Amino acid sequence: HLILRNIFLTYNELSKLNKKFLVLLLPYIKNDFKKNETINNAHRMCCNQYGFNCVDVQSVYLKNNVMDFYMTMMPDKAHQLQRIMYEFGKNIANENFSLFKFSLPSSIDLDFKICSPKNDLQINEKILNLKKNMFYKEYCFRVHKDITISLSRKNQNYKIIASHSWTDNGKKNPFKFYSSLIFFNNADNFIETCATPSYNAFAAIYDDFVIGDNSKIYLGNNRNI
């Protein structure tokens, strides 16, 4: 239910930007098909509710009974065939974008905060590093096993729904090197696994974690908390 919650929250906020959005629902068969369709249905419902433009490739494949045919040719179950996606993107780019509709703004106002280490977190040792790749360039505070991060009390009672982090792996294989953070709140904690520096992670958190008066963040492999 937290996955669905985050989907609805995302559409609710994006709808207020007065932009044209195009949502692609691409074929994906892995593990639980029923669960995947539940998530797809949430996207379909939100697209309809907020007036987002939607290309539902999943439904087209199912309707024409070609799902198995395309899935067997894919390099893996999470990535589409390159040639098909090239033609697909070209056709979308060649469309008259004036035909795409604007989103319908939501009337629901929710209170979100973006917390940064510089302004909202108390860190006992601040080590500032510049991290960048072809898409991002930003300054980050390094977290190691001796660092404790305290969440500001002004954010008490907020729920943490996502975190953005980098992992510095040196020259190791980026597909095999991961790190994690522990969000600790008295007896309640959860671990969020972060991706590699080449693929810095903005990861949704699917635990119902509420910031308390003593909430802290530790490096994931520092278990002595």
67-114 pLDDT, tens per residue? 888 877 777 767 788 888 899 888 888 877 778 899 999 999 999 998
Q: Is the pLDDT of residue 59 over 70?
A: yes
Q: Hey, is 117 helix, strand or coil?
A: helix
Task: Report in angstroms the alpha-carbon separations of 202 from 38, 95, 108, 126, 161.
Answer: 23, 31, 24, 21, 10
Residue 224 has pLDDT above 60, yes or no: no
Q: Residue 171 half-sphere exposure, CB side, CA atoms within 13 Å?
A: 0
Check residue 191 and give its pLDDT: 63
Q: Is the pLDDT of residue 121 over 90?
A: no
Cβ distance 183 to 219 under 8 Å?
no
- Measured CA to CA, the distance from residue 160 to residue 208 in angstroms comes to 8
pLDDT of 192 > 70? The answer is no
Cα–Cα distance for residue pair 77/56, rounded to 1 Å:
17
pLDDT at residue number 44: 97
Closest CA to 24 of 103, 88, 71: 88
Q: What are 10-49's pLDDT values in tens digits?
A: 999 999 999 999 999 988 766 667 888 899 999 999 999 9
Does the pLDDT value for residue 222 go beyond 60? no
Residue 211 is given by DSSP the state -
Task: Please tell me which residue, 177 or 225, carries the higher pLDDT value.
Answer: 177
Q: Residue 164 pLDDT > 90, yes or no?
A: no
Q: Write the CB contacts of 122 (distance below 8 Å, at least 6 apart in sequence).
A: 149, 150, 151, 152
- Please tell me whether the overall predicted TM-score, pTM, comes out greater than 0.85 for this model: no
Q: What is the pLDDT of residue 223?
A: 39
- Report d(CA 19, CA 10) in Å as an integer: 14
**In the prediction, which pLDDT does 170 show?**
65
The pLDDT-based confidence of 139 (bands split at 50, 70, 90) is confident
